[in-house]
Amino acid sequence: MDRFQAMTAFVHVVETGSFSAAARLLQVGQPAVSKTVANLEAQLGVRLLVRSTRGLTPTEAGQRFHEHARVALQEADEAELAARGAGRGLSGQLRLSAAPTFARLHVIPHLPRFLGLHPELSIDMVLDDRPIDLVAEGIDVSLRMGHLDESGAVARRLARSRRSVLATPAYLARAGRPAVPADLAGHEALLFTQTAQAWSFRRDAIETSVAVRGRVRLSAAEGVRAAVLADMGLTIASDWMFAPELGDGRVERVLSDWSLPDIDLWAVYPTGRLASAKARAFAGFMEEALRGPLAAGADALDGA
């Protein structure tokens, strides 16, 4: 039995909670994973997993083995990279996740350069506006915006963007341009289901909050973009989300003398794992890329 493959299979089983999920990540059949773990238990002479109504749970011995195996696999990855040398670049597969709109505008355009730096690397990208289970999906690194709900998340802040109230010139010509935040109550707001319906503003020492209304709610940022560009209303969004349109005037900021809380972009790594060299390299690459002119309409970013 290949010890490295057995350790890899066991770590995936523990972190996904099932043989079938681990098999999908390893791209093998479930019986092969079950047999590998059974052979590992036989070789070690201890039971590593127990079945319960909640699925597979590691025994005390299994927990200890998982922790050491996880570190050993990470160190093997680092050793391979060191042996190859920095000039050889990264290899294997990098599985990452991001919001579809952000990925389309600010990640995918940079991928040719990243892949050019690492010819032996492939990328598997999961696009979803909602946070996903990084361990269950086998994600190496996730790009997430806003507040991180996971208190134990391992994360690195990559950049910060300004947020504004945005609308097209055609909508503003029809509905009028709000002069103060209170005016928003009379406008058609395009609401992203993941954001609050009360918008908070600040100017100097003055803070105010406005409850907005709208007949259209959308569950995806791409839908919000389409609705704004169809002159249906105004919305609150990061400059990242409308970078091309802010640049060419198809979308305008309103209430520019009032500020909204900025939004952060994070590289989030699976809890309980050491970040792989590939994940760290990609996060560093994106941090550098988002300082460039492609990122967010000139004045929006503050790299962190």
pLDDT in tens, 78-116: 676 666 555 556 788 899 999 999 999 999 999 999 999
User: What is the location of CATH 1.10.10.10 in the chain?
Assistant: 3-84
pLDDT tens-place string over residues 167-193: 999 999 999 999 999 999 899 999 887
Q: Which CATH class is domain 3-84?
A: mainly alpha
How many angstroms separate the CA atoms of 172 and 233, rounded?
8
- Domain 163-261 belongs to what architecture? 3-Layer(aba) Sandwich (3.40)
Q: Hey, which CATH number is domain 89-158+264-289, 3.40.50.720, 3.40.50.2300, 3.40.190.10, 3.40.50.2000?
A: 3.40.190.10
Which of 23-27, 42-46, 69-73, 234-238 has the least mean pLDDT? 69-73
User: Does position 155 have pLDDT exceeding 80, yes or no?
Assistant: yes
Please, where in the chain does CATH 3.40.190.10 lie? 89-158+264-289, 163-261
Distance CA 181, CA 258 (A): 8
Residue with tokens 């050889």: 88
pTM of the predicted structure, to 2 decimals: 0.68
